[in-house]
Amino acid sequence: MSFKSLVTFLALTTTASAALIRRVTCPDGNIVENGACCALFPVLTDIQANLFKGGVCGEDAHSALRIAFHDAIGFSLTKNVGGGADGSIVVFGSTELAFHANGGIDDIVAAQKPFIAAHNLSAGDFIQFASAVGVSNCIGAPRLDFFLGRPPPLGPAADLTVPEPFDSVTSILARFKDAGFEPVEAVALLASHSIAAADQIDPTIPGTPFDSTPGTFDTQFFIETLLKGTAFPGTGRNPGEVMSPLQGEMRLLSDFSLARDPRTACFWQAAVNHEDAVRAAFKFEMAKLSLLGQNKRNLIDCSDVIPIPKPFTGTAHLPAGASLSDVEVSCKLFPFPTLTADPGPATSVAPVPGAH
Ligand code: HEM
C-alpha cells in the first residue's frame, strides 16, 4: 500500500468509526457518548459556579490540579506505597495531610469535601474530575481526559511519595520513574507549574506565581525558570525556593534544577515556544497520572463532559528588557529559540488572588 492510499484508508476508517459512535442525549439536553456520563453535568455546573467561582483559572483551579497530582503519585511499580489516583488523600486525610509534602493541601480538601458529599462520586473520581474541569478554565490548556468509576481507596498512601522542591534531581527522577514516568514525561507534567503559585513556601507572600502568566497555560514557565539571577525582594526563605529576577515571581529549586540538569535540560528547552507539543504531552501524561493504580477497562470515558478551554493566542517571549544573554542556556544539543522581549520597562508579577 502506498503512503497516499494508507492516508486515504485511515481517513475512511476514521470517518466510518466516527459514524459508528452512538450518541446519547442527556435529560438536560447535553450529548455524550456514554449515558453514564450524564450524571456529571450537574457536578460540572456546581463546581464551576461554586468551587471555581464562575469558571476562573485561579487559586482553586490551581489547587485542584495540585491535589490530583498528590493523590495519584502515591503509587509505585515496585513497592506497596498506596493506591494511586484513588482519593486516599481525602478519605485518609488524617494520615496523608500530615505529610510535609502535602502542606497546604488541607485547604483544597476542605473546599472539595462538601462537593464530594453532595454528589454521588467517589473521592478519587471527584479529584480527577475537578482537576480536569479546573484546568479547562485556563486559556491555552488542553482539554484533559476524565474516566469515571474509581472505587473507594483501600488505605492511605505512604509518606515520601510526593516529591519536594528541595529533593535532588536524582531523587525526583527516581520517584517519577518508580511511578512509571520517564524524565521527559516528568518535564511534560511540570507544565502544570505554568498555572501555579505557592502559598506555603513563604506564607508571608501567599499566591506567589511560578511564572508571569499563572492564569494561562503557556510556555513562559519554561523560559522564566531558565533566567539567570536570583534577585528578589527579601532573601532566600525556604530551602526549596530559588528567587527570580522577575519581581513577584518564585521559582522552586526543583524546577530550577530540572531546567539545568543534563538529564532534563533539553526536554525543558524543547518546551519553550512549542505550545501545541506541550499541550498534547501534558494531556497524555495527565491521563496516565489520573489512571495510576486503576484499571482503565473498568472505567467509563467521560472526557466529552470536560469543557473545551479557550485557545492561547499570545507568543512566548522574554521579560521586558531581557535578551538571550539573560537566559542560562543549559541544553548543549540545540540552540535556544529566538524570542523577542516584552516592550516597556520591567514590571512585577501580581500574586494569584484568593490564596488561603
Ligand atoms: C518535582 C515535582 C514537583 C514538586 C517538587 C512540586 C512542588 C510544588 C510546591 C512546593 C508547590 C507550592 C505549594 C505551596 O507553597 O502552596 C507546588 C504547587 C503546585 N504544583 Fe507542584 N510540584 C511538582 C510537580 C507537580 C506536578 C506533576 C503537578 C501536576 C500535574 C503539580 C501541580 C502543582 C500546582 C497546580 C501547584 C499550584 C497550587 C496552587 O497554586 O494552589 N506539581 N508544587
Higher pLDDT, 245 or 356: 245
In ligand 1, the atom with minimum distance to the C-alpha of 286 is: 30
Is 211 annotated in some ligand binding site? yes
What is the mean pLDDT of the segment spanning 195-209?
93
Name the residue among 43, 197, 67 with its Cα closest to residue 128: 67
Q: Average pLDDT over the chain, rounded to whole?
A: 92
Residues 148-161: tens digit of each pLDDT: 999 999 999 999 99
61 lines ligand 1 (CB under 6 A): no
In the block, which residue shows the cell 479546573? Answer: 134
Contact in structure between 82 and 178 (CB atoms under 8 Å):
no
pLDDT number for residue 343: 86
Domains identified in the chain and CATH numbers = 36-162+287-305 (1.10.520.10), 169-274+315-326 (1.10.420.10)
User: Hey, is 278 helix, strand or coil?
Assistant: helix
DSSP state of 119: T
Task: Please name the residue whose Cα sits nearest to atom 41 of ligand 1.
Answer: 63
172 lines ligand 1 (CB under 6 A): yes
pLDDT number for residue 204: 87
Task: Please name the residue whose Cα sits nearest to atom 8 of ligand 1.
Answer: 165
Residues 298-330: tens digit of each pLDDT: 999 999 999 999 999 999 999 999 999 999 999
173 lines ligand 1 (CB under 6 A): no
What is the mean pLDDT of the segment spanning 174-184?
98
What count of Cα atoms within 13 Å lies in the side-chain half-sphere of residue 240? 16
198 lines ligand 1 (CB under 6 A): yes
Is 276 annotated in some ligand binding site? no
Name the residue among 148, 169, 166, 7 with its Cα closest to residue 87: 148
Segment 171-180 long-range contacts (CB within 8 Å, at least 24 positions apart): 172/254, 172/258, 173/263, 173/264, 175/73, 178/76, 178/77, 178/78, 178/79, 179/73, 179/75, 179/76, 179/77, 179/292, 180/75, 180/77, 180/288, 180/292
What is the mean pLDDT of the segment spanning 203-222?
96
Contact in structure between 90 and 112 (CB atoms under 8 Å):
yes
What is the mean pLDDT of the segment spanning 115-134?
98
pLDDT number for residue 207: 96
Q: Is 70 a catalytic residue?
A: yes
